[in-house]
Amino acid sequence: MLGVMAFFGMSISEIFTKQKEIENLKKLDHEKEILEVKRKSEMIVNEANLKAEKIIFEANKRASEILNK
């Protein structure tokens, strides 16, 4: 009977240890996802800024052409 109780106690201990490991892995995955989303959002913002600068440049160029005529 004591052997069965010891086995049960060791099993429970192992289950708790594995649950903690799983939680830590989930945290790491979540942090990786957050970093990936931040990186993608920065790329989108940078691309939008470049497009905006191009539009402004083209508008100024067109305005200069009109004023020169």
pTM of the model: 0.58
- Any idea what DSSP says for residue 56? H
| Residue 1 three-state SS | coil
Residue 39 in tokens: 């990186």
Low-confidence ranges of the chain (pLDDT < 70): 1-2
The whole-number pLDDT of residue 2 equals 63
The whole-number pLDDT of residue 40 equals 93
